[in-house]
Structure 1
Amino acid sequence: MDLKTKSILLSCFGVLLFSTSLLAQNPVIQTHYSPDPAPLVHNGTVYVYTGDDIPGYDFYYMTKWRVHSSNDMVNWTDHGSPIALESFSWARDRAWAAQCIARNGKFYWYICAQTTANNMAIGVAVSDKPTGPFRDALNKPLITTGNWSNIDPTVYIDDDGQAYLYWGNGSLYYVKLNTDMISYSGEIMQVPQTAESFGGVRRARNANGQNGSETAQNKDMYVEGPWFYKHAGKYYLMYAGMGKGGETLSYTMSDKATGPWKYQGRIMADQPANSFTNHGGIIDFKGKSYLFYHTGLLPGGGSYGRSTAIEEFKYNPDGTIPVVKMTKAGVGPVGLLNPYKRTEAETIAWAEKCSIDENKATGVYVSKIRTGGYIKVRSVDFGSNSPRNFSANIAAGLDGGILEVRADSLTGIKLANISVPRTGGWTMWKQLSSAVDTAVTGVHDIYFVFKGQNITAGRELYNFDYWKFEH
């Protein structure tokens, strides 16, 4: 069969499998857990700042934060962990929800953590780049009141330049940030909570000092996880409310940045998230609106192993937000990936049987690759001229691994094949190449399939840094 015939068959094969290639997109990160997603749009790229659940414990065990980015909403590049509890001399535990924002060429990442004084506080890290490196901007907390409610900061800069920081568990607070973004003016204000503003209120603490639950007449109530933003002249506060057996995503609206607020309802509630909590963010990107949230649906996940998911939605004509349903398919691509530019192996639409590591010399790379695993990359545009060569930067302490490159499915037509030798160590990188023996043009999903050769199924095969096609 000549290359032209193969190319025609490949194009037809891609059309047949196009619908099935869209079936699995949520959660959008599969190589580790990624709770409390906080998206940021900057210069045509979406960055999502998340926590890092360590599952296997009966509490929210988190010690660092992570960053991913995407230009197309389906292929997400892992930028590793630019900050951790160790980045803050005053922090000792509970690296919980955080949000990053850009201003005047710098990026300010507002985090919360348990302090050495044994309470929760809000700090801020700063960087010249959205992916870091970040450093503690103050070497002390920004918000510290001795209150365990000092969690889940959310930040927004209004059209007039005034920045606001909201936060809180049970109670909701805000301050007006100064233009330096690392100090504030005026007092810390507590937001009044009523059924009209948040759908309901908590009962007073009972005799045992425990928070009460919602009363029978309450439709909802503010719990935690606020997300503050503005859309079409209206201010929105999305937050974790309370539903049957777990948190909802609910919201309230106002004509002013500081209220008064009017409760609007639940965006996401009573769905099979496999997680008691939910925490989200909302952005507009390339003319579409997106809801970020988390679930416990990755293998081994749950309430203490949560992962970022995304759904597209459209605002109602009056500016209200419709009910949004969780889906496995998630969102579709809003861009194309260029295979003729170096692409990091940690740019992933879906992955199985592999993980992520990083070091100072290499940066972030794909690790713990095992037989039967793979990476899928979506909407790869080969153009009208087929590539002739494929190369990959790989490291292996042992031999026996194979990297297959296939189009449109795990068993799709094979474009390239690399038998990986020992390279001198697991971080001793070598650029390996293969001829592309099947012509491929147009847009396809590409699968990097991991196989072993006469080795046990559980053994690590190799590490994978980046890849590139060439004409």
Structure 2
Amino acid sequence: MCESPQTLVDEDGRVYLYWGTFGRLKGVELERDMVTFKGAPVDVTGLKGFFEAPWIFKRKGVYYMAYAGNTAGPASECTEAVCYACVAYGTATSPLGPWTYRGVVLDPVSSTTSHPGISEFKGKWYIAYHTADAKGGGHFRRSVAVDELSWDDSVNPPLIEKVEQTRAPAPVPQPQRNLAPAARIVASNSPVPVQYWIRALNDGKVREAPLPPDTWGTWSPNNPKRQWVVYQWEQSLKLNGTRLYFWADQPAGSGIGVAPPRAWHLEYWSDAEKGWKAISASYPTAEVGNWTEVAFDPVTTRCLKAVFDASTDGKTNAAVAVQEWEALYPKAVLVEAADTKVPASPICAPME
């Protein structure tokens, strides 16, 4: 499979072709007919986390290769989840390398990947890329975005400064009962497997056909009988309800894949008793493709835990996945989102 091949016509008239995907990038010089290879293709190495979509250009005698990067993990400078990508880049002194990785140009956007195009126009440099920000947009229904790109010419080679994405004005905040956006999250399977994204739980998005990073999920080769996730707030809050939007690729009662939990319940942290207390409520069977809702007598707490007992066939356990989890205040209020750049650490313990 070839993803977004690109050519470079150098100042001396020589032409180069680049293509590749899934971690492997090739480059070759072309004959003047623009079809025949001039020598054998070479592996383009040194570009950390190359995923797809190479874009090569030249500035002040330096060759720059921008690309969709995917070095996933909790401490990644690029992306936490494998299906998402940043735009990263490297430099070289010749079109076919060797290349040196230089960093991230653009953080992940609203679509899973973001294929870059970088060019100078009337003395300024711009980066074009795609997002899912337009009305009706999605991971595979993308729109074009353009931002100005700046340089740090005080170093050699000159480096590209990270681009801050220009976004449409945010809608005026409306009062809501859901306090989840203000929470930070800790889960039993932290660090969460890279195919999932823990922040999907409170990002306010529910999709008809989500990709794995659009959910918090727990799949592993050997799933335990029970998993949990905790919302934490900086101060005690009153709660009297919750809504969860489960996702699954297997039916209830399955012991493989991702299935609705066999049972689930809520607990809250009691500062007075220094422990977790079960919330008494009538817990319905987890639904898939619809909200599963529970109302309960008000509790005041800094931490709310959702506990999931795995679906099982009696031999093995299935995983659980949730697209969105809402924690409901008794009345609508304005909610300020938590700073997701601050790592979440347990403030209510023990978590087991």
- Output the TM-score relative to the length of structure 1: 0.32
- Output the TM-score relative to the length of structure 2: 0.42
